Homo-oligomer: A and B are copies of this chain.
Amino acid sequence: MDAGLTTRITSLRNDHVKSAIKLRRGRHRRKLGQTLIDGVRELQRAIEAGVEVREVFVYRQLIQSAEALELCRQLENLSADLLEVNRPVFEKIAYGQRTDGLLAVAESREATLAQWQLPDRPLLAVVERLEKPGNLGAILRSADGAGLSALIVADTQTDLFNPNVIRSSLGSVFSLPVCRAPSAEARHWLRDRQVTIYAARVDADRDYTEVDWTLPAAVVLGAEATGLTDTWAGEDVTAIRLPMRGQVDSLNVSCAAAVLFYEALRQRSTNPSPLAAQR
C-alpha cells in the first residue's frame, strides 16, 4: 500500500483538507457535484457503480481489514490520489464516529427523470417530502434488496448524497437509479409510461396484499407526519394500506416501504414473466 501514497498531509490548513471539510455542507456538495464517502463497503459499492473517485484520505492506523487493504490497491489502479494523513487531520475530516480509515472525495451527479430508460415491467418507488437521511438510506437499501428498478425522491431538499444517506444505504445510493423531482413531474412521468400508481395511505380501503404488483407499478409513500400531498390523489391512483392490528396507526416509513417492496417481489416471484428478471 505504501507505494501508492504520494502525499502525506499533517496540516489542517492544507487545501485538500479544507476542501474536504467544506463537503460536509449540502449546499457545497450540490455546487461542486461532489460528496464524501466514508467506509469500505460504501466506497466499494461506489466504485462498482462507476462513480469517479477523485482522492482518498487514508489514516493508516485504522486500516486493518483485508477488504480495506484490497480497496487501497484497487484505488491505486483507478489512479485516485491517495493522501496519507495523521490522526488530527483524519478526525477533522471524518464524518461521524465509525470509520474504516478511508474517506473519499467522489463525483455525485444526480440523474434526472428524462435520462431514465425503464425496463418493460418496472417496479418503482416514490418517496415524497422525506426529510430524515437515515430513513432515505434505509429505503434505498430495501429498494436495492427487493430489486426495484429505480427510486424517485419527490419534493425534498434532502441531498441524495448526504453522507448519512450513503452510510445508511450501505452505498446503494450509487448502484440503484435514484433521482430527485417535483411530485407533479414524477406523477406525469409515471402516467406517460402507463405505470400503475399505488399510494400508501393510512385511510385506504384496500390492503396492500390485495392489489396486483406484477403490473408495471410504482409505490408512493409520504412523510409520516403529514402524509401524501394531493398530487397523489385521483382516479388513476389506487390507495393501499397496511393492516394495523395494534394500537399504532402506521409504521416507520422505511419499514412500510420494505413491506411493500417485498410483497411486490413475492408476487413477482410467484408469477414470473419473461421480463421479471429485468431491472
A interface residues (Cβ-Cβ under 8 A, vs B): 45, 48, 134, 138, 141-147, 168-172, 175-176, 209, 242-248, 250-252, 254-259, 262-263, 265-266, 269
- B254 contacts A144, C-beta separation under 8 Å: no
Among residues of B, the one whose C-beta sits closest to the C-beta of A207 is: B269
Given contacts A246-B176, A269-B243, contact A142 B262 (CB under 8 A): no
- A251 contacts B142, C-beta separation under 8 Å: yes
Contact partner of A172 (CB less than 8 A), chosen from B143, B144, B246, B257, is B246
Count the copies: 2
- B247 contacts A258, C-beta separation under 8 Å: no
Set of chain B residues within 8 Å of A48, measured between Cβ atoms: 247
Set of chain B residues within 8 Å of A259, measured between Cβ atoms: 258-259, 262
- A262 contacts B242, C-beta separation under 8 Å: yes
- A252 contacts B168, C-beta separation under 8 Å: yes
Given contacts A172-B247, A255-B258, contact A242 B209 (CB under 8 A): no
Among residues of B, the one whose C-beta sits closest to the C-beta of A268 is: B245
Set of chain B residues within 8 Å of A172, measured between Cβ atoms: 246-248
Contact partner of A252 (CB less than 8 A), chosen from B45, B138, B242, B244, is B138
